[in-house]
Structure 1
Amino acid sequence: MGCIYILLIGLLLHVTIPVHAWKQYRVRRSIDLSASNPLIPDTKLPSDLVPINYTLRIELNVEQLSFLGDVNISMTCTKRTNQINLHAHNDLQVDEVNLDVVQYTDNGETTAIKIRRVDRVPKKPLLVIYLHDDLAAGGVYEARIQFKGMIWENTEGLFQGKYNQLNGDNIQDHSYFATYFRPHNARRVFPCFDEPAYKVPFTVTIVRPKGFHTLFNTEVESTEIVAGNKEADRFKITPPISTFTLGFVVSDLVVIKYDDEQTNIHPVIRIWARKEFHESLKDASTKIKSIMDYLTNFWNASYPLSKLDVVALPNFASVKPADNWGLIVFKENELQQGYYGITQELVYQWLGSWITPFWWSDAHVNKAFAGFLSASTAIEIDKGLEFEGKWPMTILYSIYYEFSKRYPHSRITAMKQETTCSKTELVLRMLNYTLGEETFRKGLQKFIRHREYKTFVSNDIWEALTKQAHLDNKLCESATVNEIAESWVTKDRIPMVSVLRAYDKRSASVTQRLYLRERPHDVPEQDKMLWWIPLVVVRQDNLNFTNSSATKWMKNIREVTLENLPDSNNFIIVNPEEIGPFPVNYDAHNWNLLANYLLTAEGRAKIPVYTRAKLLHDAWNLAYAGDLSFATAFNMTLFMQYERNHLVWNPVFTLIDHIGRHIDMSAVHKKFEIYVRTLLTPLYEELVQDQLEGEAKWKTNLRSLAKTFLCRAGYKPCIEEAQAVFKNWMDSPEPDLGNPVANQYICPVFKWGTQEEWEFGLQRVINFPESRMQSERTYLLKTLAGCPIQASKINRLLNITVLDNNGNFTDNDISLIFKMLSGGSNGYMALFKFLQQNWDSIKLRFKDQEGLWDNLINSATGLFTTQEGYDMVSQLYVQRQGEFGTAEYIIEKSLKNIKEETKWSDENLPVIEGWLDNFLKQHKLSYEKFIG
């Protein structure tokens, strides 16, 4: 670190950065994570001037909620220019009259540079200083700027927060002042080069009122009294640091003293909080130290700063913690939670602050690494208790569903950002498995040693992993991690792999193609999409789930052959434990071997949980997409009658929901509900019997899910329990004063209960007092519309709200009713018939309300999935040709979608019904029990 400071002093004495070196680095490219670019709109500065260091002084005026300051920015000129461009937010006032620019001469003195004018660029956060003469390439200059600004309440730039604290019998008001500069809010506080690539030292002085103290990235070097009952804290010079990781907190929070506190440790870790909250954070120090020890060992690099201040900030309104280097600011409750969230911020201290993304497009790889490493750390420290085994399955399933849509993200950029990060995190997990943990870790250790105090682009990480993988013979010399990562990160898609075994040759043809669940499968250029896919193979005749090395890589090619496979009596599993984020399909014989093996106790014991979940999840989703027979997919569920692990059960509920909704309109649906009740009843009754106080959270959640789906499928004990509880509300002398019924009981009553019970709920909505929470009324209205299966209830609601124009229901209520009715076939069928029978009255009712009319047409016509439904909608379209107005395109789109869904139904419903008939025949007792 001393060498770095010598270098910086040299720069000030005109040992300038070579222009060609800076230019070369500035144009380095990384894998383009385009999702990030629209989310952080920014004006990049020209590269003709590069900062060397800052001397910054900020003085708070807490009475007026303002601040003033001055900054000296030393710069080296890389290319002749007559202007200095800096970031400065429009809210920041710059003293343009007293602004100076000087040049350092060879003897260390300064010469003034004449300024022609100073401009603030309209609608852009830029300050431009125009000079009379050009600055010379290689010269060192300094801009000296005075400024002032406001202290805000929102957490951008410099903000104020407040909290109350009990002091004896009195409640005292307290304030604090803190910064939040991520991603580009340093410019709200002082003019600067506000880009992550510019990492330089800061010398900072903060002037604060007496009675407060200041926490900064580095330790206080000196404090002196200044005029106006204030004190100035001067801090030790920072290492090279990006503006977004700079930060300070001015408060009267108190450091927590721990019994096991040790001296002379590195780094010094201090936790700050309001005094009455100290007891709530008694475990925080142990957590942080455990995480720091783990990360230090992982990186094989000590924490680069001498101290780390962790602040529990009361009423901190930011969505994310402020991860300044050496100073992390959390909400109070975030320090009371598990390891994952804390670990994520500590990871950023190494990868994010010490080593910094060159630009925001690389920040997403940084975030993915933080997510992956945080999860790995938390699992290692607390043995997975925090996640209950759900990582990475939760994000994996969301990726499967999102990227298999015809139009992922629905063009929502924020969603695209999150899914891109999640997918990159899964790619890192895949590399950790296939390269091996040791190779993966060593590669990252070399990367971080090479880039310390510098910036990086994502390719720097991939290159470090490539070199280590080649060194350890984990990857052939012709392959690179860059190629592997790019094939995954740059596509908003995932592949599916099909394994077709040739049993007589003991080989298999393995092909890859784009995975699509939604129909039609008409994504442009899908035939050109290829991935680098590791084929990790487990075989029944030698079950070994510990070896995660790839048997073969699909190197951006469509098809490969696997050799030396077992005979036809033994299954194979490709991609066990979800090593890579892709589903795998097999030929029917291999699927049947797996299904039969899982029916045995030995089989379920030998196949790990994640792999059991994967096999089930893949089979159902592939069938839903049209790539596998539903008979095979249903066979894969038979072992669930013996399965009790919540991780295997979790995807089942989603799949039941998806398939149930799709076949909702057909006669097959009633048989499907009997199957669901048969599948879930033993699980639920066992969970009820084993219920204990203080049980694991996963068990409570699993019981709740099982009960919800059983109630939805008509499980009699559930309906009877719900009606008994609901009766208490109906018998209440003043039912409008409050709802004594838990939400879980309302839908079963409205779905399976009497017209009288439903009518009672309707009256509660009509008579709902304004004094109660409106969200309760909204939930009640949602269930009144979305839960019933009887057309009489739905027609009653539509008559009141649409035809009678009842004043108790707003247009928003009507839109909500339409939306809820589109959730099931009973709803949209009743809505369609209501529209058909009352066309003229409804058209007149909505003649000036195009939004409601469009919503009605969409909800009434867009969800049919069978030929019968297509014929009904088509007939209405012909009968009312030219009368749809603004909704013309909606019904035309509905007809196209129904036609596609009809194909699915024609292909799959007979298969599903045939399997269910056979299942119900084999479970005659269950069939007789539930059919009544």
Structure 2
Amino acid sequence: MWSFSSLLVLGYFTSVCSHQKRSIDLIAAHSLISQERLPQDVVPNGYHLSLQPFPADGYFDGKVKITATVQHKTSEIIVHADQDLVVLDCNVTQLLASSDESTIKQSATSNTTKLPVQSTQKLSKKSLFTITLQSPVEPGVILEIHIRFTGRIFNDSSEGLFRSSYVDPVTKETKWFVATHMRPNLARSVFPCFDEPAYKVPIVITVGRLKNMTAVTNMPLAKIVSMENSDDWVWATFLETPPISTFSIGIVISEFTSLIYNVSNENDTRLKIRARPDFISALTNVSDKVVRALEILEDFWQTPYPLPKLDIFALPNYQATRPADGWGILLFKESELSGKGSWHITQELVYQWLGALATPFWWSDAHINNALVRFVTAYTTLKMDENETFNNWPMTMLYSIYYEFSKRYPHGKSTAIKQDSASAKTELVFRMLNYTLGESTFKHGLQKFIADRKYKTFFGDDIWHCLTEQARFDERLPKTITVNEIAASWITKDRLPVVTVLRNYDDNSATLTQRVYLRERPHDVPDQEKFVWWIPIVLIGQDHLNFFNSTPQVWMKREREIKISHLPGKDSFIIINPEEIGPFPVNYDIKNWNMLAQYLCTENRTQIPVNTRAKLLHDAWNLAYAGDLSFATALNMTLFLKHEREYLAWDPVFTLIDHIGRHIDSSSVHKKFQSYVRILLTPLYEELGNEPQEGESEGRAHLRSSSKVFLCQAGYKPCIEEAQTAFKKWMQSNNPDEGNPVANQYICPVFKWGTQEEWEFGLQRVIKFPQSRKQNERTYLLKTLAGCPNDAHKIETLLNITVIEQNGNFTDNDIYLIFSMLTGGANGYTSLFNFLRKNWDNIKIRFEEKPHLWNSLITSATTVFKTQEGLDMVSELYVERQSEFGTADFVIEKALRNIKEETKWSNDNLPVIEKWLDEYLKVNDVDPTKTR
């Protein structure tokens, strides 16, 4: 059964591209995976797995034969087996080795000796199954491990071996199907195995199924054999897989129908799109996306799709958060597969090469695998001309990365956020290298990597090393520089740099400095002076606006400061890091900023691509927010927007309107700022129209939606009236508790700008919300009820009902949610503060035994103030009640420190913002006290 090579120990420790040493520990252990590794005394060479699921009864039977090689003398064989897997029996035989290959092939049946098993033990907490032999076996011995087992088929989550059902619309029968989702380490819940990614070995799968069903696995069908003593069941055996990790195994047993296509590639891949019969017609366009993506990916990797077939399933009631990417078998939610976009499909196809064909050795390199997958997915999607969804790549992702890494404490305590942001940052490093090394060099380096590591495993360093070798061969990097050290300077830090450019207009030179980019105050991050990066300096001058040349003029080689010469003349601007080539903002001297602002207001603005226009705007605002640039300069950079209609250029504006608006909404400047927002957005919204147009782009639809949301928040009267008209239909309905006919977009404007009667109607809907309806609808209603109102009376009413009166319709979780929502605006947290101060004694008694609610209240009521007035209020409360804060002592003390920082920011920036707004409103002849 096994080839001679598969019976030998697999070479997953071999070097790649002549590289032998790992120098970057790319990421800490995957949070979901135990770092406890299987001993390497016995390693697998291959499996023959037989499974017979009984979906209607919720269980399965199985047996597995594992061929393995003894690496070190041992009497123990340890494999993974989940606590829900019941091992019925096991035995071990030794294959009598021979130098003759044919003898080894025959040994599975004719040349074996049984090894006595002394005991077996299952360690449920560690998901381990230990077989102890009576006598130790020597290195080099080849074993066959036979285990028979049974287990549960899960139906409450789409994990491991799971089942679900649907109703046939014609016969009204319930139809069951069974499928697997093995990632990241769930194969052990299906069969005893070496469930680590490094153990890539061939596997033969046999499935027991009813004759009226179809079984699909990673490989094509080899044969079907009738079961003994049964007229209804058959055994379906499939061809042996290439070397494969256990998480890449895939099985589906169903009565689905299929659409069949032949892909014209080197392997003549057979493509089948499978779904329940009444849904298959919704998937007729899927094959075009798959075939086109495969063509691009085969060209990108210069390695053909490695399997003879590909089955893609649309599963009803599929509950996993992401598709299941078995090798050669992909499982999607029906809505994902039938949707317009192609991102989900493309991403899973990329995993067929990067993850299945070449596999990370351990979970510590999972994030770099994921980062490269996302990069190649975006690359492929753009090549497919599906750039409506990705026309903002990487801009939107980059903004969130900037915000996360500019915090005093990135990620908080969330390991998931840390891993996702680390992966996203690494994706941006790949993008930076694609630009700076050149797309040809970058692709050839990755092609070298995939060719060396196909059917094997890899470390993160293997990728960087292959890129280095290719860059040196193409003379894109000096021999003294490695991609490894460039990448390490970015990947090993939870920070990003900012580059400041000070031009000397007398000698056409500039001094460039790098430091840590910190947006959140105070800027007191320890050891920040030690952080330096390898930063590519790509420069564009006004005299030569060539945005196609992304070769760095120079690298900042972990240098704090460099000087560059031969810049354009004093009347020409420069742009550094155009198109967001590297993940870092750039600050300039005021003259250069002003020249950029003036140029963007001319008809020539489109000579600067929209990605770069967005970057300039985003950098200016965020640098101002961080205290590194005057807000007058940053606001000047928005003047060109009255002529701008590209969604990408507007995208950062909406985020920054929100950020700045929240920061200043407790000051007198806020009404003027809302007038500015209305002036900025009203012409855009009126031009776009209130209703979508047939065939309009996704970007235009987003632009309309976002401009409407922010106009509503700023008090745009037509928006408020539209929302109230929609809301009135709900108020006039005979049974308002049966359902909510109002679109979510209308609810917040009504609660914010509408009447007390409208708000109280919403309050009653929360109080009387039926248990039979989806509770997330109630949650949304409660969020808007608390978080949207401008009127302090509405907020106080809600707090009295929930906290003082202890209305039984509101749980502690509801109260926690209300406190959290009130931090979103000055009216909310100021009203909460006043409520706390007024009712201190009653509230203290109410929450005496609920410290989580008490701490949440103190946090929400005191930590969000940003002005001297707020600092005075919180300070007075602290003095009045200093000995009574209890478990929230640390909260109030931290709040006072933070408010002092925010007050300093407000004192420095609010006068500048107000002066600029006064001039802007004067020019536009607008009275800020009136809404439009």
* TM-score (normalised: structure 2): 0.93
State the match for 1:706 in structure 2: 707
Partner SS state of residue 146, structure 2: strand
- More divergent stretch after superposition (791-800 vs 653-662): 791-800
2:567 corresponds to 1:565: yes
Q: Does the 8 A contact of 2:56 with 2:176 survive in 1?
A: no
State the match for 2:46 in structure 1: 53
Q: Which amino acid in structure 2 is aligned with residue 674 of structure 1? A: S
C-alpha deviation, 1:539, in angstroms: 0.6
Q: Does the 8 A contact of 1:722 with 1:746 survive in 2?
A: yes
C-alpha deviation, 1:265, in angstroms: 6.6
State the match for 1:233 in structure 2: 236
State the match for 2:64 in structure 1: 71
State the match for 1:410 in structure 2: 412
State the match for 2:87 in structure 1: 94
C-alpha distance 282-587 of structure 1, shift in aligned 2 (>3 A): same
Q: Which amino acid in structure 1 is aligned with residue 927 of structure 2? A: Y
Gaps in structure 2 of 5+ consecutive residues: 105-110
State the match for 2:201 in structure 1: 200
Q: Distance in 2 between matches of 1:185 and 1:640?
A: 51
Q: Does the 8 A contact of 1:786 with 1:820 survive in 2?
A: yes
2:515 corresponds to 1:513: yes
2:148 corresponds to 1:146: yes
C-alpha distance 777-547 of structure 1, shift in aligned 2 (>3 A): same
Q: Distance in 2 between matches of 1:912 and 1:867?
A: 17
State the match for 2:843 in structure 1: 842
State the match for 2:456 in structure 1: 454
C-alpha deviation, 1:21, in angstroms: 6.5
C-alpha distance 793-573 of structure 1, shift in aligned 2 (>3 A): same
2:295 corresponds to 1:293: yes
2:468 corresponds to 1:479: no
Q: Does the 8 A contact of 2:17 with 2:466 survive in 1?
A: no
CA RMSD in angstroms, aligned pairs only: 2.8
Q: Does the 8 A contact of 1:513 with 1:530 survive in 2?
A: yes
C-alpha deviation, 1:220, in angstroms: 1.7
**Which whole-Å deviations, capped at 9, do the CAs of 1:80-139 have from their partners, x for residues lacking one?**
22222211222222234x412324243753333333322222411112222333322233
Partner SS state of residue 178, structure 2: strand
Q: Does the 8 A contact of 2:27 with 2:367 survive in 1?
A: no
State the match for 1:319 in structure 2: 321
**Which whole-Å deviations, capped at 9, do the CAs of 1:732-788 have from their partners, x for residues lacking one?**
666556555443333333333344444444455455555655544444443333223
C-alpha distance 253-526 of structure 1, shift in aligned 2 (>3 A): same
Q: Distance in 1 between matches of 2:289 and 2:384?
A: 9
1:845-864 map, 5 Å: 845-864=846-865
- More divergent stretch after superposition (340-349 vs 62-71): 62-71
2:162 corresponds to 1:159: yes
Q: Does the 8 A contact of 2:16 with 2:462 survive in 1?
A: no
2:4 to 6, 9, 30: 9
State the match for 1:628 in structure 2: 629
Q: Distance in 1 between matches of 2:129 and 2:249?
A: 21
C-alpha deviation, 1:64, in angstroms: 4.0
State the match for 2:78 in structure 1: 85
- More divergent stretch after superposition (742-751 vs 649-658): 742-751
C-alpha deviation, 1:791, in angstroms: 2.8
Q: Does the 8 A contact of 1:497 with 1:513 survive in 2?
A: yes
Q: Distance in 2 between matches of 1:270 and 1:224?
A: 23
Q: Distance in 1 between matches of 2:124 and 2:758?
A: 63
Q: Distance in 2 between matches of 1:459 and 1:50?
A: 25
- More divergent stretch after superposition (27-36 vs 881-890): 27-36
C-alpha deviation, 1:18, in angstroms: 8.8
State the match for 2:278 in structure 1: 276
Q: Distance in 1 between matches of 2:519 and 2:210?
A: 62
Q: Does the 8 A contact of 2:176 with 2:254 survive in 1?
A: yes
Q: Distance in 2 between matches of 1:809 and 1:476?
A: 66
C-alpha deviation, 1:665, in angstroms: 1.3
State the match for 1:356 in structure 2: 359
Q: Distance in 2 between matches of 1:57 and 1:757?
A: 63
State the match for 1:433 in structure 2: 435
Q: Does the 8 A contact of 1:494 with 1:515 survive in 2?
A: yes
Partner SS state of residue 60, structure 1: strand
C-alpha deviation, 1:563, in angstroms: 1.6
Q: Distance in 2 between matches of 1:741 and 1:67?
A: 47
2:447 corresponds to 1:445: yes
State the match for 2:658 in structure 1: 657
- More divergent stretch after superposition (576-585 vs 503-512): 503-512
Q: Distance in 1 between matches of 2:424 and 2:16?
A: 33
Partner SS state of residue 828, structure 1: helix
C-alpha deviation, 1:561, in angstroms: 1.6
- More divergent stretch after superposition (455-464 vs 725-734): 725-734
C-alpha deviation, 1:426, in angstroms: 1.1
**Which whole-Å deviations, capped at 9, do the CAs of 1:483-502 have from their partners, x for residues lacking one?**
11122122222111111112
C-alpha deviation, 1:311, in angstroms: 2.2
State the match for 1:375 in structure 2: 378
Q: Does the 8 A contact of 1:158 with 1:178 survive in 2?
A: yes
Q: Which amino acid in structure 1 is aligned with residue 254 of structure 2? A: S
Q: Distance in 1 between matches of 2:440 and 2:12?
A: 39
Q: Distance in 1 between matches of 2:879 and 2:736?
A: 48
Q: Distance in 2 between matches of 1:332 and 1:850?
A: 44
Q: Which amino acid in structure 1 is aligned with residue 93 of structure 2? A: V
Q: Distance in 2 between matches of 1:279 and 1:17?
A: 44
Q: Which amino acid in structure 2 is aligned with residue 376 of structure 1? A: Y
State the match for 1:687 in structure 2: 688
State the match for 2:927 in structure 1: 927
C-alpha distance 144-495 of structure 1, shift in aligned 2 (>3 A): same
Q: Does the 8 A contact of 1:314 with 1:331 survive in 2?
A: yes
Q: Distance in 2 between matches of 1:152 and 1:749?
A: 45
State the match for 2:422 in structure 1: 420
C-alpha deviation, 1:213, in angstroms: 2.2
Q: Which amino acid in structure 1 is aligned with residue 797 of structure 2? A: R
C-alpha deviation, 1:345, in angstroms: 1.1
- More divergent stretch after superposition (37-46 vs 280-289): 37-46
Partner SS state of residue 256, structure 1: strand
Partner SS state of residue 703, structure 2: helix
State the match for 1:489 in structure 2: 491
C-alpha deviation, 1:35, in angstroms: 4.8
Partner SS state of residue 95, structure 1: strand
Q: Which amino acid in structure 2 is aligned with residue 554 of structure 1? A: M
Q: What number of residue pairs does the alignment pair up? A: 918
C-alpha deviation, 1:275, in angstroms: 2.1
C-alpha distance 136-885 of structure 1, shift in aligned 2 (>3 A): same
State the match for 1:596 in structure 2: 598
1:669-818 map, 5 Å: 669-688=670-689, 692-730=693-731, 739-766=740-767, 768=769, 774-818=775-819
Q: Distance in 2 between matches of 1:902 and 1:273?
A: 59
Q: Does the 8 A contact of 1:30 with 1:458 survive in 2?
A: no
Q: Which amino acid in structure 2 is aligned with residue 351 of structure 1? A: L
- More divergent stretch after superposition (534-543 vs 755-764): 755-764
**Which whole-Å deviations, capped at 9, do the CAs of 1:645-702 have from their partners, x for residues lacking one?**
1111111011011111111111111221121111112111212279534433332332
Q: Does the 8 A contact of 1:99 with 1:146 survive in 2?
A: no
Q: Which amino acid in structure 2 is aligned with residue 563 of structure 1? A: S
- More divergent stretch after superposition (674-683 vs 773-782): 773-782
Q: Distance in 2 between matches of 1:262 and 1:620?
A: 50
C-alpha deviation, 1:606, in angstroms: 0.6
* TM-score (normalised: structure 1): 0.93
C-alpha distance 449-396 of structure 1, shift in aligned 2 (>3 A): same
Q: Distance in 2 between matches of 1:530 and 1:431?
A: 18
C-alpha distance 83-24 of structure 1, shift in aligned 2 (>3 A): farther
